[in-house]
Structure 1
Amino acid sequence: MRTATKLTAFLLGLVAVFGAAYGVGQVTGPVTPAVETHHDDPERSNPEHDNPGAGSNLPGHGPDRQGAR
C-alpha cells in the first residue's frame, strides 16, 4: 500500500469520526451547567455538619509527638 493511500484513508477515517461526533452533539444538544449549591445559607444550616464529632479528630499522641514513651 502506498503512503498517499494510507494518509488518505487515515484522513477519511478522521473526517468520519469527527463528523459522527458532530452529529451526535447536534442531536443531544448543549450541556446544561450544574445547579450551584451554597452551603453558607443560614436558613439551611445543619448543626450536625458544624461539629463532625470526636471520630474525625486525630489523636494527640503517637511516636511523632513529644509525649510519646
Structure 2
Amino acid sequence: MKLITVKRETVEEKRFTPKMGELIAKVTYIKMLFLNIPIKTLHKYRETYYGEVKDCADCVLQA
C-alpha cells in the first residue's frame, strides 16, 4: 500500500473573467493525498470556452 498518492479530479465551477463575464468551466485539480486524505493542491488548470488549457491564476473566482 502506498502512503502518498497523487489524484486528478475534474469539477465544473462558475468562474468570472473581465472579458467574458461569468462562465462555467471544467477545472482540474491535481492533489497530493496521504492515506486518502488530501494534503495540498499541487496544480489546478481549466479548459476555456475555446478549448484551450489555462492556469487558474488568470481568472477570479466569483463570490
Pick the TM interval, shorter chain.
Answer: under 0.3
Scaled by the length of structure 1, what TM-score is found?
A: 0.18
The structure with the larger Rg is 1
Structure with higher strand content: 2
